[in-house]
Structure 1
Amino acid sequence: MKRVRIGVVGRMIGVLIVLGIAVFPIYWMFTTALTSDADLFAPEPRWFPDFGQFYVFVDALAEGPTLTWLANSTIVAIGTTVFSIGLGIPLAYALSRFSFKGKVAVGLLLLMTQMLPEALMVVPLFSLYRRFELLDSLAGLILANTAFVLPIVALVLKGAIDGIPKELEEAGRVDGARPLAVLLRINVPIILPSIAAAAVIAFFHAWNEYVFAVTFIFNKSLQPASVGLAGFIGEQGTAIQTIMAVAFMFTLPAVAFYLFAQKYVVSGMTAGAVKG
């Protein structure tokens, strides 16, 4: 019994340590935002926030376009997630269930797209966007992010569909269901955990994306928060408290979304590894 208790205590301590490492950066952003200039540059760091400095958050929301940036980030992240999932499901189903010439090549191409950094695609995409008048547009930013994250979403969903017994689909076809109905009524409900996992990947990619956003968006009212944050860094000085306040507000929605979907992330990532 003592060994069991020691093991439980050891695991709890380990979990607390990992949790502390994960949460500390967020706590430190919050504390730094609520630290005066005198304490910020003092020899000893201030470990606890000074709530008398909370006006920094109020000023960041009132004076700057922080809410507009957060709204733009939300639009881009949700749009990218919806498009990547909507296109990824039929693509994954085709790769998993249908045989066609070049199927292996398509899979390899999807993998190869992840080898290309975003910076390498900026120049050709900028030329295309200028021709089709997609610059300075949230829609264009959504399309770019969707194209970049779609391959990984499709591969995640393909792994999940591979684990579904084909007998379930055959039973649906016997009842007269067409391929689209089989996909939507049989496969999609089963792979919902994997869809949630893929949605988290797409959401975080679009939420944190910077290179496309800073290149394709010129109007400050259309900038996402990832670009807006960089604008606080000035040549003469940098408002550290304001940066940390906006960064804290920028981090919270993503953390909240992940906490809501984390159980689906774990089950979704392992679903494709189990055969029915």
Structure 2
Amino acid sequence: MRRFRFGLTARIVAVLVVLGVAVFPLYWMLVTALSSNGDLFAEQPRLTPDLGRFGVFVEALAEGKAAGWLLNSLVIAVGTMVLSVGLGIPLGYALSRFSFRGKAVLTVVLLFTQMLPEALMVVPLFALFRRFDLLDSLTGLVLVNSAFVLPIVALILKGAIDGIPRELEEAARADGGRPFTVLTRINVPLIAPSIAATAVIAFFHAWNEYVFAVTFIFDPELQPASVGIANFIGELGTPIQTVMAVAFLFTLPAVAFYLLAQKYVVSGMTAGAVKG
């Protein structure tokens, strides 16, 4: 009994330590945003937020372009998530269920794309975007982010579909179900956890992306928050409280989205790893 209590206590302490390490950066951003200049440069740092200074968040949203940046980030992230998952489901299904020439090569190519750094593709993509008039366009960022995240989405969903017995699809076809109906009525509900996991991956990839956004977007009104926050850094001074306030607001939607979908992430990733 004593050993059981000790083990339970140790697990609780470990969970609290991990939770503290994960939450502390977000908490420190809040403390910094709500601190005065005197507190920031004092010998003893302030460890608790000054709740009377919440006006810094209102000022950051009202005076600057922070609200527009956050909205742009949301549009890009949601667009990338919808497009990559929407294309990844049929692609993963084709890789899992159909046999065609070059299937193994295509799978290896999809895996190889994850080894390419984004910076390596900036120059050719810039020329391509200029030719098709996709510079200074949120649509262009959605397309390029979807192209980079689609392979991993398709491979995860392929693994999840591999774990579904083929007999279920054969029974549906025997009842007159067409391939698209089988996919949407049989496979999609069964791989819902994996779809949720890939949606989280796609959302976070686009939400945090910086290289393409800073290269392909010139209009400050169209910049996402990941680029806009860097604009606060000036040559003569940087409004630290404003930067931390916007960074805190930039972090919250991503954290909230993950908390809503986190129960599907582990099960979805595990389901996608059952078979290769």
What TM bracket, shorter-length normalisation?
over 0.9
| Structure-2 separation of matches of 1:47 and 1:272 | 43
| Structure-2 separation of matches of 1:272 and 1:21 | 29
Listed as ranges, the gaps of 5+ residues in structure 1 are: none
Contact 2:31 2:50 in 1 (8 A): yes
Q: Deviations over 1:119-144 (max 9, x none)?
A: 11110000011000000000011000
Q: Which one-letter code corresponds to 1:227 in the other structure?
A: V
| Structure-1 separation of matches of 2:259 and 2:78 | 17
**What secondary structure is seen at the aligned counterpart in 2 of 1:230?**
helix
Aligned structure 1 segments of 4 or more residues deviating by more than 2 angstroms: 272-275
Query: RMSD over aligned Cα, in angstroms?
Result: 0.9
Q: Map of 1:25-174 to 2, 5 A cutoff?
A: 25-174=25-174
Q: TM-score, normalised by structure 1?
A: 0.98
| Structure-2 separation of matches of 1:82 and 1:110 | 19
Contact 2:159 2:274 in 1 (8 A): no
| Structure-2 separation of matches of 1:103 and 1:125 | 26
**What secondary structure is seen at the aligned counterpart in 2 of 1:159?**
helix
| Structure-1 separation of matches of 2:52 and 2:92 | 53
Shift of 1:272: 2.8
Contact 1:79 1:142 in 2 (8 A): yes
Aligned to 1:199: 199
Listed as ranges, the gaps of 5+ residues in structure 2 are: none
Shift of 1:273: 3.8
Q: Which one-letter code corresponds to 1:113 in the other structure?
A: T
Give the aligned length: 275
Shift of 1:52: 2.2
Q: Deviations over 1:73-124 (max 9, x none)?
A: 0000000000001100010000001111100000010011011111111100
Aligned to 2:257: 257
**What secondary structure is seen at the aligned counterpart in 2 of 1:27?**
helix
**What secondary structure is seen at the aligned counterpart in 2 of 1:231?**
helix
| Structure-1 separation of matches of 2:124 and 2:221 | 25
| Structure-2 separation of matches of 1:54 and 1:262 | 30
Q: Map of 1:225-240 to 2, 5 A cutoff?
A: 225-240=225-240
Q: Which one-letter code corresponds to 1:145 in the other structure?
A: N
Q: Which one-letter code corresponds to 1:36 in the other structure?
A: S
| Structure-1 separation of matches of 2:201 and 2:274 | 21
1:216 aligned onto 2:216 = yes
**What secondary structure is seen at the aligned counterpart in 1 of 2:52?**
helix
Q: Which one-letter code corresponds to 1:31 in the other structure?
A: V
Contact 1:163 1:273 in 2 (8 A): no
Q: Deviations over 1:152-174 (max 9, x none)?
A: 10011011001101111111111
Shift of 1:274: 4.3
Residues 1:128 and 1:273: Cα distance change in structure 2 (over 3 Å): closer
| Structure-1 separation of matches of 2:121 and 2:143 | 13
Contact 1:195 1:268 in 2 (8 A): yes
**What secondary structure is seen at the aligned counterpart in 2 of 1:184?**
helix
| Structure-2 separation of matches of 1:156 and 1:74 | 24
